[in-house]
Structure 1
Amino acid sequence: MKEFWGHYGLGLIERIGKNHVFLEASGLAFSIVVCIVPFVLIIFAVLGFVLESPTIRMEINEFIDRLIPYSDAADTVKEVVFERAQEFKVNKNVAGILGILGLLWASSRLFSSMRTILNVSYKNRLVGSIFGDVVAKMRDLAMVLLVLFYFLLATTIIPGLAALEKLTENSTILQFLHIEFVGDLIVQAASFIIITFAFFVIYYFVPQAKLPLKVIIVSALWGALFWGVAEYMFRLYINNFMSLKRIYGAYVFIIVTVFWIYYTSVVLIVGAEIGQLYRERSRKKEKEAEKEQQSEA
């Protein structure tokens, strides 16, 4: 047990300092912020088509409430989304085209930065080539489409989970059995699975070198765990101990958004570092097993 905690605990601290994780997270967060602008243009262009439906509006409300842990910031986002979406409805085609072109350019920077960082974390030594660069750019475009699909999927699933949670809260049977928490448990479990899958996709597709499946799973699980714990602690903190709006005023949404983007970047890199530590420990065990077999022979 001492060796286990020494390898992972001290090893993680050493790698965070050696690989300048917090500095890398700052650069990655900046790339994400740059990518947000064209992505929002595309979202507004799509919303211009669908916001006429009351059901869609309700689902978007539920999605924003789940995505942003601070209620005042969530209300600000709703106001901006619905007001700007109506404005974009008139010029939705132009907004969509500009958004797509901008997103293709920005995503190239984002996933290139992410690939470089993850290659350092996983110690992938790659020789540059024209073919490899072309393949990397194609993967960037595929990741953009995957992100858009994942966003639409999450927009559909999360409100459905919220409806399921309300259904279980109002269920006579569950109230009689005193297990009203089942609905909340289902929602939390499903949210954890969704976040884990998102991390898994990033660790699987973004690095150029193919990683062992177990390493990817370990990285994704730890990344999702850190993200979930931070979300809960942050929600608890802002709901009970401080008023962000009183301190930051109209800038509260920007503060919350930047914080979450930066923290998510840190979590993404730390998850990769833990996965690499698991990889190194597994290799060490394999070598020790081989030596034992050779000595016995």
Structure 2
Amino acid sequence: MTQFLNKLPFAHHAWFMYIRLLVRHFLDDNCTQKAASLTYTTLLSLVPILTVMLVVFSSVPALEDVRGQVQQAVYSNLMPSSGATISQHIDNFAEKSSNLGIVGVGGVFVTTILTLITIETAFNEIWRVSERTGGVASVVRYWMMITVAPIILGVAFGASSAISGLSFLNRQIAGYGIDWGIWAKIISFLFTVGGFIVMYWFIPKVKVPLKNAAIAGVVVAILFETLKMVFGTVMTNFTSYEAIYGAFAAIPVFLMWLYLSWNLILLGVEISYTLTIFDSKEVAVRHPLLSLLDMLNLIYKKYQVGETASEAELRGVLGRKETPKWNLYIDELVTNELITRTENDEYILRTDLNTVSLWQFYKTMPYPLPIKSEMNDFTMVDYDPWYVELYRHLESIEKLAKDELDMPLAELFKTAPLRAKESVVRMTAQTANSNSDADGFNADAKKVVDEHGNKVVVPMGEASFTESNVTKAVRLAKKGWHWYGRGKKVVKDVKKGVKS
């Protein structure tokens, strides 16, 4: 398939390359599975969310008159015309739930917040973002959203009703032949667009470029309205499902609608994410340590002039295929206390780099040293002097390694004696080393014998001897394994081959 796409005449056009990138990320991120999970989450939490909205409206007497308009707008914007039955049932459930006591209302609020956090998690997974803030911050953020959003909607619809009720304005508009219905549809669509833009910009725990969030919001809003019309038309003309499901016909239809809607919403997240990636240069993928050093170099240069580095600037030093690992690289630098995140979500040095050697930097990162051949693909003039200097050091290391390892394998094996098959491997306090978890070894260890007569050594010291350890030791012994220490060292019976 890839070869076929590469042969197309427009294969190297920017728009086609972007579509391929978008489709690949949508599939690789398992968005269809995420949509299925969010479908059932939404099904269980839809009534609590609407109940919260009703509770907020009830607490603000001035908005009581527009509550029905807001509910009708929500249903008409979020569901096709064939969902009238579902809307009625949901409305009835929400009305009854709004009469709950304090404990019940509290439970409804908790359910709503948990649902929003689930949605946030799905968005963050697409953006490759790990948790940055505590759970309390997320709860406060979403508590504000679920309480303020209904009030904003109520004020907006109240203002709309007041304007439409002005007789002189109606007479002026009537003179120009303007239909209020058209304006209502336009305003409704703009609300949908605004909702999607806010969703894509606000929910991920990363600075999403507003332009990319706006593009994603407009595209998904258009697709969403198209889906509503198509879905409503199909469900209206295709009525055989009612003969199959009978009174429950609305349930599978509603589930299908939720599933398709979530696929569209997640597509919008992918659009905003891939647009951000696509802004990067198309360069060859570098070794992770080179990318990390490039990012650290930018932060260091900014620090020298008293500035901080923004997320956009840091992403700018990475290539298009490196950008998906941007958050991983940032977390590595933050975790190892080389940089820190400011209140404005920008980055600044935390450690004086005069006290950190290149060797220390390498040892703290979970990546091997790059070899010279991994740097030959890059033109030295395109990089800062540090890159050329690093290349020189790696070249020296490679020469030293070659001198040390330049020996025939036969010579290496010639000096190694054959291991006696019947020898017994025993660990004592004298022979245990740091890699064998010497601290965990105890000469007075409890000896357990399993049903096959295999002795299993379990440590006793420092509360490390627990029933779970004994159970684990016996289970391992049944497989021919002897367990020593605190679980960090497993030695297999040498009769079956030694493994550690």
Give yes or no for TM over 0.5. yes
Aligned to 2:232: 235
From 99, 109, 126, the equivalent of 1:104 is 109
Aligned-pair CA distance for 1:45: 5.6
Of Structure 1 and Structure 2, the greater helix share is in 1
Contact persistence 2:69–2:157 (CA under 8 A): yes
For the structure 1 residues 57 and 9, does the alpha-carbon distance in structure 2 shift closer, same or farther, using more than 3 Å as the test? closer
Match of residue 136, structure 2, among 134, 137, 143: 134
Given candidates 232, 249, 252, the residue that maps to 1:252 is: 249
Q: Deviations over 1:181-233 (max 9, x none)?
A: x6554333222211111112222221112211112112212221221111121
Q: Does 1:148 align with 2:150?
A: yes
Q: Which of 214, 222, 232 is the aligned partner of 2:219? A: 222
Q: 1:201 to 1:229 in 2, by over 3 A?
A: same
Q: In the superposition, relative to structure 1, how do residues 151 and 38 fare at CA in structure 2: closer, same or farther (>3 Å)? A: farther
Amino acid at match of 2:26: I
**Aligned residue for 1:117?**
122
**Pair 83,196 (structure 1): closer, same or farther in 2 beyond 3 Å:** closer
* Residues in 2 aligned to 1:248 and 1:154: alpha-carbon distance in whole angstroms: 40
Query: Deviation at 1:247?
Result: 4.3
Q: Which amino acid aligns with 1:282?
A: D
Gaps of 5+ in 2: 1-9, 283-315, 319-380, 383-500
Q: Is the CA contact 1:15–1:273 (under 8 Å) kept in the aligned structure 2?
A: yes
- Matches of 1:80 and 1:132, distance apart in 2: 33
2:184 aligns with 187
Moved more, 151-160 or 260-269: 151-160
Equivalent-residue separation in structure 1 for 2:205 and 2:174 (angstroms): 49
Shift of 1:157: 8.0
Which one-letter code corresponds to 1:242 in the other structure?
F
Aligned positions of 1:5-84 closer than 5 A: 5-42=15-52, 59=69, 62-63=72-73, 66-67=76-77, 68-71=79-82, 73-75=83-85, 77-78=87-88, 81=91
Per the alignment, residue 270 of structure 2 pairs with 273
TM-score (norm 1): 0.71
TM-score with structure 2 setting the length: 0.45
Check whether the contact 1:41–1:98 (CA below 8 A) recurs between aligned residues. no
- Which blocks of at least 5 consecutive residues in structure 1 are unaligned? 175-179, 289-293
Give the total of aligned pairs. 272
Asked if the contact 2:216/2:269 (under 8 Å) is kept, the reply is: yes
Between the aligned residues of both structures, percent identity stands at 18
Q: Distance in 2 between matches of 1:101 and 1:123?
A: 32
Asked if 2 retains the 8 angstrom alpha-carbon contact of 1:42 and 1:99, the reply is no
The 1-side partners of 2:37 and 2:27 are apart by 16
- What amino acid is the match of 2:185? Q
Which structure has the larger Rg? Answer: 2
Q: Structure 2 vs 1, CA of residues 273 and 5 (structure 1 numbering), >3 Å: closer, same or farther?
A: same
The CA deviation string for residues 135-181 of structure 1, in whole angstroms up to 9 with x for no partner, is 22222222322443466468768989999xxx89x95753xxxxx7x
1:261 and 2:258 aligned: yes
> Which structure's relative contact order is higher, taking Cα pairs within 8 Å and 6+ residues apart?
1
Distance 1:154 1:142 in 2: 18
Q: What amino acid does structure 1 have at the position aligned with 2:37?
A: G
Distance 1:64 1:111 in 2: 17
Distance in structure 1 (CA, Å) of the matches to 2:76 and 2:161: 8
Question: In the alignment, is the contact (CA less than 8 A) between 1:161 and 1:187 conserved in 2?
Answer: no
Contact map agreement 1:220 1:271 (CA 8 A) in 2? yes
Deviations 1:218-277 (A, max 9, x none): 2212221221111121122223x3125444332233233322322222112110111112
Greater CA drift, 243-252 or 147-156: 147-156
1: CA distance between counterparts of 2:198 and 2:159?
18
Q: 1:98/1:227 Cα in 2 relative to 1: closer, same or farther (>3 Å)?
A: farther
CA drift of 1:22 comes to 0.6
- How far apart, CA to CA, are the structure 2 residues paired with 1:61 and 1:107? 17
Is the partner of 1:225 in helix, strand or coil?
helix
CA distance in 1, matches of 2:32, 2:85: 30
Match of 1:4 among 9, 14, 25: 14
Displacement of 1:19 in angstroms is 0.4
Matched residue type, 2:226? V
The 1-side partners of 2:245 and 2:164 are apart by 30
Contact 1:200 1:217 in 2 (8 A): yes
Counterpart of 1:132, as a letter, is G
Mapped to 2, the partners of 1:287 and 1:252 lie a distance apart of 54
CA-atom RMSD, angstroms? 4.2
**Cα separation, partners in 2 of 1:238 and 1:157, compared to 1, 3 Å:** farther
